[in-house]
Chain A
Amino acid sequence: MNLYRYASPSTFYPLAGRLAPWFFALAFILAVIGLYISFFVAPTDFQQGEGYRIIFIHVPAAWMSMFIYIVMAFWSAIGLAWNTRLSFIMARALAPTGAMFTFIALWTGAFWGKPMWGAWWVWDARLTSELILFFLYVGVMALQAAIDDPRRSDRAGALLNLVGVINVPIIYFSVKWWNTLHQGSSVSLTRAPSMAHIMLWGMLIMALAAWMYAIAVAFVRARSMLLERERQASWVRELPEGKA
């Protein structure tokens, strides 16, 4: 019952409004620390010189691209199973941010690949599957935009999310399963990371900043969507925002 209370839009709206600035602030502080480590503390790499510093955004962005998709699929599944409106809104609010991080991962990957590998783009399994992830994000957003009825739009998009989630493990394990040009993961649960500690810390802090940013943005977007969706509801009419 208690959970339901938080799942109700009228409780979520002010809560998210209070929390979002904190997450933005955290994201900003973490990003400043992370960038400071990335550029001024982390040493030059033995192979790639200064060029490796792209890792500090490439890896967090790539993680976020997959992680946001999983979270989206999670909210979609919850929404389809229990028909909770808020979870559909969360899934929708995450999609543009996920697409943005996927784009950043692809873009920075190209800018990293050109000097190191010698090519902007190669069609290996990792890169191709990440590109497909981008298309999946775009597809879901396009589908949801094309459907006028909000209920159908939520549910159709959620179903498509669940279909596309099969792609995420393929991206993640592609470097293990196939001989790819892309290197393996530097950070893994099963063994010690193959990175100098300070570099790893820089990357993790940047990843955390990306997390905080994604949460903050999702909250703000979800709030706007709620206002739009529920403008007939009495709780929206009583909001101070609505008063002229």
Chain B
Amino acid sequence: MKPRHKKLALIALIVAAIGVAVALVLNAFNSNLVFFFTPTQVANGEAPISRAFRIGGLVENGSLKRQEGGLTVGFVVTDTAKSIPVSYTGVLPDLFKEGKGVVAEGKLGSDGTFTATQVLAKHDENYMPPEAASAIEQAQKSLVK
């Protein structure tokens, strides 16, 4: 009997340990553990203050402004709920477009503007010929109407 009890106790211990580990992992994923923060998180004060971090979201349509004669650009990053203005001096990646995904690294100023030191384009996992893409776009527009 005794070795059997030992075995049962061992199994119980293992199950309990795995349970604890899973609970801890789930707890971690409820909090934020991320490559970038969304504008909503920034607005809720979950992002670091006075330290470099990354924000991610979509470039708001019609928000891209280039300063004349320089490489400085301004645009707004949004996650449709909240949005944050970003200014950046440098070369933008090819995939940087209004309405597309972007991840910017930099600091949040006291005026609420995010000064980026690096801008990365985040593209989605869709690949298709341009005709197909425009067809889908048309279809979505007609659905919205």
A-side contacts of B130, CB under 8 Å? 43-46
From the candidates A52, A119, A184, name the one contacting B127 in the complex (CB within 8 A). A52
- Stretch from A26-34, A74-82, A155-163, A194-202 contacting the other chain: A194-202
B129 touches A119 (CB 8 A): no
A13 to B28, CA, bound (A): 50
List residues of B (52-111) whose CB comes within 8 Å of A's CBs: 56, 91-96, 100, 103
Report the minimal beta-carbon distance from B113 to chain A, rounded to whole angstroms.
Answer: 21
Task: Check if A83 is an interface residue, CB within 8 A of chain B.
Answer: no
Instruction: Determine whether the beta carbon of B120 is less than 8 Å from that of A45.
Output: no
Interface residues of A in 124-141 (CB under 8 A from B): 124-125
When A118-B121, A194-B125 are in contact, do A124 and B35 touch as well, CB less than 8 Å?
Answer: yes
A178 to B30, CA, bound (A): 11
Given A115-B93, A118-B120, A179 and B34 contact (CB-CB distance below 8 Å):
yes
- A55, B127: Cβ atoms closer than 8 Å: yes
The verdict on A196 contacting B128 (CB below 8 Å), with A115-B93, A116-B93, A117-B93 known, is: yes
Interface status of A47 (Cβ within 8 A of chain B): yes
Contacts of A180 on B, CB cut-off 8 Å? 35
Q: B126: which A residues are within 8 A, CB to CB?
A: 47, 186, 194-195
Give the chain A neighbours of B128 by CB distance below 8 A.
45-46, 195-196, 199
* Residue of A48, A125, A195, A199 touching B35 (CB-CB under 8 A): A125
Q: Does B24 contact A (CB under 8 A)?
A: no
- For the complex, would chain A's binding face be called helix, strand, loop or mixed by DSSP majority? loop
A118 touching B119 by the CB < 8 A rule? yes
* A116 close to B34 (CB less than 8 A): no
A134 to chain B, nearest CB (A): 20
Q: Do most interface residues of chain B lie in helix, strand or loop, or is the interface mixed? A: loop
Q: How far is the CA of A119 from the CA of B122 in the complex (A)?
A: 11
Contact-residue size bin, chain B (C-beta under 8 Å from the other chain): 20 to 34
Using CB atoms, name the residue of chain A closest to B25.
A177
* Residues of B close to A185: CB separation below 8 A: 125
Most buried by B among A115, A118, A183, A196: A118
- Set B91, B96, B100, B122: member contacting A181, Cβ < 8 A: B122
Q: Are B35 and A186 in contact (CB under 8 A)?
A: no
How far does the alpha carbon of A72 sit from the alpha carbon of B7 in the complex, in Å? 31
- Chain A interface size, as a band, is 20 to 34
> For the complex, what is the distance from the CA of A125 to the CA of B29, rounded to whole Å?
14
Closest to A198 in B: B129
Interchain nearest-CB distance for B96 vs A (Å): 8
Query: A178 contacts which of B33, B119, B120 (Cβ < 8 Å)?
Result: B33
Q: How far is the CB of B111 from chain A (nearest CB, A)?
A: 26
CB B80 to nearest CB in A, in angstroms, measures 16
Mark out the residues of chain A between 39 and 60 whose CB falls within 8 Å of any chain B CB in the assembled complex.
43-49, 51-52, 55
Indicate which residue in A47, A51, A122, A199 contacts B120 across the interface (CB closer than 8 Å): A122
Do B133 and A46 have beta carbons less than 8 Å apart?
yes
The interface of chain B, by Cβ under 8 A from chain A, is: 29, 33-36, 38, 56, 91-96, 100, 103, 118-130, 132-134
| A194-B127, A196-B127 known, 6 other contacts, Cβ within 8 Å | A44-B130, A48-B94, A179-B35, A179-B36, A179-B56, A180-B35
Chain A interfacial positions (CB closer than 8 Å to B): 43-49, 51-52, 55, 115-119, 122, 124-125, 177-181, 183-186, 194-196, 199
Could you jot down 11 A-B contacts, CB within 8 Å? A47-B123, A48-B127, A55-B127, A116-B121, A125-B35, A181-B35, A181-B120, A186-B125, A186-B126, A195-B127, A199-B128
Closest 5 pairs between A and B when the two form their complex, measured CB to CB: A118-B93, A46-B133, A43-B129, A46-B130, A196-B128
